[in-house]
């Protein structure tokens, strides 16, 4: 079984930066890549700030923090990934873009390396088919935010080997996560159940059943969820939610998974949620508690 000591993370957005932070704090050497240099700068700053905050609260020693930051290297050059044991990609939720990246990575990383995807819903079997190593391709789906959430959902593609599964599972457990394993069907376990609920919340708003605040309060206090579904959608990113609904709709071939027109319209308008300052809620004018 491959032991993972050097890891590559691709995509320095909300998920990739959190995964890189988690890896660096757990003794793994990490290369973090993004095609956008500003995203890399933002990610490094946010990781440093998060780690410093943990030191000031007494949760980490200065030494541990210093070593973690030393383990993290940022790069715009994919060629730097030549010696990593595992790469996890957390780029945009698009099958074509992810496949294209896997084709490039397949040529760059060593033959023994594992290619993992943090995809929320896209078929691991189809991503694997773009490579010459389908037995070493796997889904490693962290929850948002990765340093805080306790779960990693591992998805085995049609050809994922037991060795690849065990090495990925060991890595997630080294990060202190509880692992669940899903077969490769649209949305896997978590988003197969969560996204239709979020989509239904959009339909509830769209058809005028209630205000966004009452929908969120209803689900928070009525079902004991820590966040309401619309607030959660803003936190995940409305573009990510829409991409997942499209995968469910096409992959399961059932009209009940059709994305709500209001969700589509918000994404068309660039209202992508917290990361853009506006989604269902406007974070520039409305006072909402920060969750991350």
220 vs 275, beta carbon nearer ligand NAI: 275
Number of residues that bind ligand NAI (CB under 6 A): 27
Q: How many whole angstroms separate alpha carbon 229 and alpha carbon 270?
A: 19
The residues, ordered by sequence, that sit 6+ positions from 149 with a Cβ below 8 Å of its Cβ are 142, 143
Query: Does residue number 16 form part of the binding site for ligand NAI (CB under 6 A)?
Result: yes
Using CB under 6 A, pick the residue from 2, 4, 8, 13 that binds ligand NAI.
Answer: 13
CB of 139 to ligand NAI, least distance (A): 10
Out of 50, 118, 160, 164, which residue is the one contacting ligand NAI (CB under 6 A)? 118
Active site includes 100?
no
Residue 97 near ligand NAI by CB under 6 A: yes
Asked if 34 touches ligand NAI (CB under 6 A), the answer is yes
What are the Cα distances from residue 196, in Å, to 4, 252, 259, 279?
A: 35, 12, 9, 18
Task: In whole angstroms, give the CA distance from residue 57 to residue 62.
Answer: 11
Q: How far is the CB of 168 from ligand NAI (least distance, A)?
A: 15
99 within 8 A of 125, measured Cβ to Cβ: no
Handedness of CA 155, 161, 162, 168 (dihedral sign): negative
Decide whether 35 or 67 has the Cβ nearer to ligand NAI: 35
Q: With binding defined as CB under 6 A, does residue 7 bind ligand NAI?
A: no
Q: Is the bond into 145 cis (omega within 30 degrees of 0)?
A: yes
Q: How many CB atoms lie within 10 A of CB 254?
A: 9
Active site residues: 120, 141, 153, 191
Q: Catalog residues that contact ligand NAI under the rule CB under 6 A.
A: 10-16, 34-36, 39, 90-93, 97, 101, 118-120, 141-142, 144, 236-237, 240, 275
């Amino acid at each position: 079984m491959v032991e993972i000591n050097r890891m590559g993370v691709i995509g320095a957005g909300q998920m990739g930066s959190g995964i890189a932070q988690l890896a660096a704090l757990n003794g793994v050497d990490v290369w973090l890549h993004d095609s956008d240099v500003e995203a890399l700068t933002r990610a490094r700053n946010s990781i440093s700030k998060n780690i410093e905050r943990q030191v000031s609260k007494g949760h980490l020693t200065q030494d541990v923090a210093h070593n973690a930051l030393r383990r993290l290297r940022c790069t715009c050059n994919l060629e730097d990934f030549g010696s990593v044991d595992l790469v996890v990609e957390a780029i945009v939720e698009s099958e074509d873009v992810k496949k294209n990246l896997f084709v490039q990575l397949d040529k760059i990383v060593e033959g023994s390396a594992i290619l993992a995807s943090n995809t929320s819903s896209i078929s691991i079997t189809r991503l694997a088919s773009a490579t010459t190593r389908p037995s070493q391709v796997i889904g490693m789906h962290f929850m948002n935010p990765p340093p805080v959430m306790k779960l990693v959902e591992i998805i085995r593609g049609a050809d994922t080997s037991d060795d690849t599964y065990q090495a990925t599972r060991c890595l997630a457990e080294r990060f202190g996560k509880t692992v669940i394993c899903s077969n490769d069907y649209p949305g896997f376990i978590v988003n197969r159940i969560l996204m239709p609920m979020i989509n239904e919340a959009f339909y509830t708003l769209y058809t005028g059943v209630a205000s966004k605040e009452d929908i969120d309060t209803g689900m928070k206090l009525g079902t004991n969820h820590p966040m309401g579904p619309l607030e959660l959608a803003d936190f995940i990113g409305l573009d990510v939610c829409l991409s997942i609904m499209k995968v469910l709709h096409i992959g399961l071939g059932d009209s009940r998974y059709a994305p709500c027109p209001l969700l589509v319209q918000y994404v068309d308008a660039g209202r992508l949620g917290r990361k853009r300052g506006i989604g269902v809620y406007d974070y520039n004018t409305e006072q909402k508690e920060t969750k991350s």
